[in-house]
Amino acid sequence: MLSAYLDGKGELVLGERDIPKVKDDEVLIRVIACGICGTDVHVFKGINKGKPNIIRGHEFVGEIVEVGSSVKDLKVKDIVIVDPNIPCMNCYQCRNGRIHLCKNLTAIGVDLDGGFAEYCVLPSRQAYKLPSNIEPIIGALAEPLACALHGIDRVDIKEGEDILIIGGGALGLIITQLVVNGGAGKVFVSEPYKEKRDLAFGFGASRVIDPTSEDLLDVIKDETDGKGVDVVIEAVGSGKTILQAISAVGDGGRVLFFGVAPEDVKIDISPFEIYRRELTLLGSFVNPFTMDRAVSLISSRRINLYPLISDIIPLQDINRGVDIASTGRSIRVLVRP
C-alpha cells in the first residue's frame, strides 16, 4: 500500500508498505480521508519533532475491510472515525479519569502508523461508527470537533457570556459554531484572512476582526464598554496572540490556550496581573470522552463542517498539501488515498 511517513532525517516521504495484519481485537480500515492539522505541519516543517518511520495522520475516517476474531460490535463495510489517543488505563491519571494525561499515552499517526496511507489497522475500541446519513468524508473532521468540545468543557462557558476567539482556522470556526449554538452573548472572531472571517460571520459571530488592519484590543474595548470579554479562546498557538488573549479578557475572566504552540515558544506573564485581575488560564489537550458527542453533533447536522474542507488532494501530492496547509489561507486540507 502507498503511505506517507517521516524518514530518519525527518523528511516526509512516500513509499510502499505491506498492508498491516489484523489481531483479534483490531480492525483494518481502508482510509477514505485524513486531515492535515497544524501539529502535522509543525512536524513536517521540522518545528516539532516526529517519530521516524511512522505513517503520520490522526484525523481520519475509513471503511472497515476486516475485523479481528474477538470484535463483535463492528463489521465489514462500516464507516468509522478514529480516536487516535490510546491510554494505558493503568496509570494514576487513567485511574482518576484523566485518560488524556496518561503517562503511557500512545497515539495513532504519532507513535503508531496512521491515516496517511491506503489502509490502517487499529484497536476496535478506537473506532466509532459514523451514522449512514452523513457523507463519509465529513468524518475526517470528527476528531477536531471532539477536541473542540473538550476545550469548551474546560472553559465552562455560560449563556450570555461574551467570547473572543483568536484564530479562524478549522478549530476556531468549529468553536465559533459551538459557542454560538450554546447561547453565548457577543462572539468576536479575530482572523487575518477574509474568507475565514466571512465564514465566521456566517456561523453567527457578532463581530469579525481583521488584526492586520484593526487593533484587536481597541475593538474589544469599544465593543464591551471597556470591560473586556468574559472568555478568550486562543486558537492560533503563537506567543503574540496568547499575550493578546490575556490583555483582551476582562477582570475575573478565563483564557483557554487551545492553539498548539511550537515547543520552544515562551511568553512573559506578570504573576501580579494574574493575581490582581483574578484571571484563570487554562490548557486543553486532545479529546477525552468526547468522540461520541462529536458523532452525535455531526449526525444532528447542528454543526456545519462542509465549508471547512478547503482542499482535497490525493496521497501522492501530500507534500503539496502540507505546503497549502502551512500558508494559513486554507482551512482543512484533506488527503484522499
**Tens-digit pLDDT profile for residues 232-273:** 999 999 999 999 999 999 999 999 999 999 888 999 999 999
Give the residue numbers annotated as catalytic, written as ranges: 39, 42
CATH topology of domain 2-129+305-336: Quinone Oxidoreductase; Chain A, domain 1 (3.90.180)
CATH of domain 146-283: 3.40.50.720
- Domain 2-129+305-336 and domain 146-283, same fold? Reply is no
**Tens-digit pLDDT profile for residues 112-134:** 999 999 999 999 999 999 999 89
pLDDT number for residue 152: 98
- Burial of residue 132 (CB within 10 Å: 0-12, 13-18, 19+) is exposed
* Spans of all domains in the chain: 2-129+305-336, 146-283
Percent of the chain scoring above 90 in pLDDT: 91
pLDDT number for residue 10: 75
Percent of the chain scoring above 70 in pLDDT: 100
